[in-house]
Structure 1
Amino acid sequence: MTARFATYIADGTRYYGAVADKGMIDLSAHFPQWPSLLDAVADGGLATLARAADGEAVTHTDVTYDMVLPNARRILCVGVNFPDRNAEYKDGSAQPKHMSLFPRFASGFTGHDQPLIRPPESDQLDYEGEVAIVIGKAGRRIAQADAYDHIAALTICNEGTIRDWVRHAKFNVTQGKNWDKSGAMGPWIVPFTDTAQLDDARIVTRVNGEVRQDDTLSRMMFPIREEIAYISTFMTLQPGDIIVTGTPTGAGARFDPPRFLKPGDVVEVEVNTIGTLRNTVEDEA
């Protein structure tokens, strides 16, 4: 089985470790040089973690999943990256020449099996199922042919969005993309060891069991190799940086009438090469 690493809470303490069938294998206690899973990624330590977990017994069975890399410093998201998504805007525009990008912050994400939080300021909480890549090797002006060499791991993102708040300014979606715990990332990261993990990946998003999004990464307008090359043109990518690579058509805002998330809903984002990220929805207390 492919190694899976998660950040989790047990007995009020945050740990990271390997995901087993019946719980977690704590690894954080054995690697004081890596205070967090992000530190292990940045130091190229995932293979070491996998070896350390091999054959070890489960240490925690009652756990709460945290955002998988809760101290991620930089998260960049690619917008409108599937051909049908461009058509959803119904503005007659051709495929854009360059990709759209915006930042998200770790505070905007919760973990697997945790609630997405709908704020009192808006009832337009929406879902976006995506694959996220975690950079493992620094680079600037990375060639597309070399791009995959810079990926350490993969995870799943529900890039939850407060839709009316992405319209608060003419050129800025940042407000609608960064509400506390409006999205989720996890459940785990899996080391990137085979190009098929991306090239054959399929994203399926379900709300209360109903399929809302279903597409393959192979149909992206801006493939992941191009994303890495383009982003690294203007900024040096660093180990631990996360790129959220784009969502297929079918977000709630694009239905007529819109189908936004409401308390009690269950959202699942399944990626066949990674796993399934599941979240409920609650109103902010």
Structure 2
Amino acid sequence: MKFMVYKDSIGTKGLAVLVGNDWRGEAGTNQDSSLLDLALAEPSQRADILTHFAARPVIDLTEVELLPPISDPGKIICVGLNYSDHTDESGYKQPDHPTLFPRFASSLIGAGAPIIRPLISEALDFEGELVAVIGRGGRHIDKRDALEHVAGYSIFNDGSIRDFQHRTPQWTLGKNFDGTGAFGPIFVTADELPAGARGLRIETRLNGEVVQSSNTDKLIFDVATLVSTISEAITLEPGDVIVTGTPSGIGHARTPRLYMRAGDVVEVEIEGIGILTNPIVDEVAPLQRVAV
């Protein structure tokens, strides 16, 4: 099944399910928990879910605000250097263990919302990535069982402020500016995709031009490995988000460098999931105090 989370014109959140060719929505529920509950439903329950939503109103996606599929994840764990071509272009030695760093929910935005280029930097870069959403938590998860803990998949644009990212070896500050973590809009249950979401074309476009093009088969540490490895140290919980890494083509590695600017439009498309589209805007300067 495919889901989207939205907010209507009066500010009520809703959960939409794709029924045939229509998105049909139901408002007023706890979207994070409802989405996970429905995503984890037994196959025998799927027909009842679709029947329920078939009786709900059709949602005009042009009249609602699309939100991240999980609006307030307990953990957002990002993976760096997980495609060898991106590692090469970034000038790093390929690590033999997943390179992990956190994102915070305060940086998240939905599809259609503007990615914000901050006042203090011009180095806003794109990174199209596959997202795995945890449905069943656990610690010390065996790799053989790891995919059973994944509820489904979505899309991320890990907007990075490169000059701030590279001020320290930890990357965290440059990966967490407000309004830079685009997420969604579609969440696809794991059963609708190949195991571990392998073999999917992933592409990023800036103003219609392809700037990243790869395949999730090229992930060095696949989804099962990431879930198992992370759980060696950290208890994974339902709703936790794993952002699995970006392929080559980033703007920072180009000559001349290709950073995003106000007026640009960036799209990330993953086969079988959908397209995440966001415009770029400049941060608005705060009002200056006038001395009296």
Structure 2 length as normaliser, TM-score?
0.88
**Kept in 2: contact 1:23–1:60 (CA 8 A):** no
Q: Which residue in 2 is equivalent to 1:207?
A: 206
Tell me, in whole angstroms, the C-alpha distance in 2 between the residues paired with 1:195 and 1:147. Answer: 16
CA apart distance, 1:28: 3.6
1:53 and 2:53 matched: yes
Aligned residues: 275
Note the 1:122-201 alignment, pairs <5 A: 122-169=121-168, 171-196=169-194, 198-201=197-200
Aligned to 1:220: 219
Distance (whole Å) between structure 1 residues aligned to residue 7 and residue 234 of structure 2: 33
> What is aligned with 2:90?
89
Whether contact under 8 Å (1:9, 1:65) holds in the other structure is yes
Indicate the percent of aligned positions where both proteins have the same amino acid: 37
- 1:167-211 deviation digits (Å, cap 9, x = unpaired): 232x32110011111120001211111451612211100001111
Q: Any idea what SS the aligned residue of 1:237 has?
A: coil
Residue type of the partner of 2:201?
R
CA shift digits 1:215-266 (9 cap, x unpaired): 1111111111110110011011111000001100011111012100001111
8 Å CA contact retained: 1:28, 1:36: no
Aligned partners of 1:222, 1:239: CA distance in 2, in Å?
21
Kindly report the root-mean-square deviation, in angstroms, between the aligned alpha carbons of the 2 structures: 2.0
Q: Distance in 2 between matches of 1:66 and 1:100?
A: 28
Change (3 A) 1:45 1:190: closer
Question: Please, which of 30, 33, 44 is the counterpart of residue 36 of structure 1?
Answer: 30
TM-score by length of 1: 0.90
- Asked whether the 8 Å contact 1:40–1:46 carries over to 2, the reply is no
Residue 238 of structure 1 aligns with which residue?
Answer: 237
List gaps (5 residues or longer) in structure 1: 30-34
Aligned letter for 2:216?
Answer: L
Unaligned runs of 5+ residues in structure 2 are 285-292
How many angstroms apart in 1 are the aligned matches of 2:128 and 2:144? Answer: 26
Whose radius of gyration is greater, 1 or 2?
A: 2
Aligned residue for 1:38, secondary structure, equals: helix
Which residue identity is paired with 2:81? V
Q: Structure 1 9/41 Cα, relative in aligned 2: closer, same or farther at 3 Å?
A: closer
Alignment-mate amino acid for residue 248 of structure 1: P
Counterpart of 1:13 (choices 7, 11, 14) is 11
Amino acid at match of 1:40: S
Give the aligned partner of residue 2 of structure 2.
Answer: 4
